[in-house]
Chain A
Amino acid sequence: MSLLPALAPFLLAAASSAEPRLDPLSATATREQVLVSFHLAGAFSEKLTERIQSGLATSFVYRFELLRDRKHWWDDHIATSTFEVTTMYNAISHEYLVNYKLDGRLVESRLARSRGELEAAMTTFERLPVFSVADRSPGTRVLVRARAELGSRTLLSIIPVHVATPWATSKKFRVPREAE
């Protein structure tokens, strides 16, 4: 009949593996903070690796939006947060310096001594506190949207375009009450 239905899974798989994406994105809330866990897949291309190895400062910018869930209507935007991860390779010491900034403020620096360690340091985060919900009403149903911006590339050699993942959305969760 046609090759397309047969090739569809492979094409989708190839496309999904080639395009960077945030997967999975999960979010929970304590009484004071919203903690997000996510993994950025497909970000480390050969070109990006070469760029990092050349010693250029390379950043991933994660943008988070905290939304209040509303039924039968668009969700209400509550807050925005930016988490920037920048790395720079030291060819003398063979170390990767990784800096973490939350909303422009440096929150952590670490050294990675291997490619794998660097990838994990830049793409995998567990329970990262990105929003404060201390002033939010307990029991409010919220959710988190996130995307990663990976810099830019050029089309037709001269047209710059942003490279970013699609927006990923966490499951809805409630701001915990005092007793919880």
Chain B
Amino acid sequence: MSPAAASAAGVLETPAQPFAWTRLLPGLALMAGVGWLGKLAEQGLAAFAKARHLRLPNVEYVLWAILIGLVLANTVRLPRVFQAGIATCDFWLKVGIVLLGARFALGDVLQLGGISLALVVVEIAGSLALMLWLARRFGLEPKLASLLAVGTAVCGVAAIIAAQGSIDGEDEDAAIAIAAILALGAVALFAFPAIGHALHLSDRSFGVWSGLAVDNTAESVAAGAIFSETAGKLAVLVKSTRNAMIGFVVLGFALYWHRRGQARAVGSKTAFLAARFPRFVLGFLALSALTSLHAFNRGQALVLGNLSRWAFLLTFAGVGLRTDLRGMFKNKFRPLVVGALGEVLIALLTLGLVVAANAVWRL
């Protein structure tokens, strides 16, 4: 990963220092504290409403954890000592997704995964076409357009970083595309659940929509979980299907730019795809298969499910803590406009897909 892209993604802050686990502890403790406060806030509000016989909406711990993290990160200038720990946010997301496999029967995964795959293929084709067309209309650089298209069609930051290396993209373009994706992901985090409730979408429909339309995996899962726990699980499944396509999409762009003489040759396509296949998706499938083969009893599956929830709690706290509201819209204006317009159109396209899929397969 290039330093500029990594820095924009918030995953690399102190280069050329020996790695020490202790560097992670302050940030990890902060994420755990924020997540715990989120849980307390949910329980506290519910208890307050019950004691006062009030009918207050149930605000999930997910939303509390993100909001508390957002407020902390954007009001108090967090010391650098916390950054390394907060950057483990994506690690906890992947741990949570793999462990969540224990709460899915493999048959359900394959059935829902099949439906997801059909929807994801349409979503990716539609999103790529739309984003490339919009980028051309707004006169964006072709490689920046490719990175934005990959980021919105597949899976946000990871896809942009993978694509940048494969098409010899500029660091600055990757940083711009990542900043735009993160900014739009933060907006989607709050907009999607509100729209879902306004449209009275079912938990499953919303989970599929969130998995299809929200770009970055952490934001996609969080948006689902803000809506409901079931929606969060469905969002994980659909988003993982989308993530599994990363290699194919990046390979397509790598071949295109190589033919134009502006990127290296690909070499073995199988090795290219294997190197870019997200391992955590296979880990999720492996744990689901093991649970379906009764490798874990009900109690053990429950424990694994709860471990997954704790991992997600750290992730959601980290999502809030890493979101820089002030820096978000300092990005170059045109890529952000293209990204925002594209996101709105993709949200509409995927909403239509979900409604159609619901009519055909009864999600």
Asked if chains A and B come from one complex, the reply is no
Which A residues form the contact surface with B (CB < 8 A)? none
Which B residues form the contact surface with A (CB < 8 A)? none
